[in-house]
Amino acid sequence: MTAPSPMDAAPPTTELPAVRTDFLACLEGANDNEARELARRIALARTLRELWHIRATLYSYLARHRSQSEAESRLQGLNHHFTGRMSRSSFASLDP
């Protein structure tokens, strides 16, 4: 799976706030300095490509502070923003 191409990196400006909202919802219940910094980065992201790269950090944070299964569950809700831009979720279960 790859990051959105430059052509897909900037969705219409009317869509980006909704994408940011979905990213921020993944941090629900988190209120430490690391979560606040991650929320700041999400809020300042200007393109879908930037959010794509933040997604990995978000997953890592959630896996460390909650659990891997919780991180996967929360980020599953972000996948529709990248439909057509990815072959499969990079955070899908690794179980056969």
How would residue 73 be classed by pLDDT, with cut points 50, 70 and 90? very high
pLDDT of residue 94: 40
How would residue 96 be classed by pLDDT, with cut points 50, 70 and 90? very low
pLDDT of residue 2: 54
Q: How many CB atoms lie within 10 A of CB 85?
A: 18
The candidate with the shortest Cα–Cα distance to 92, out of 81, 79, 84, 82, is: 79
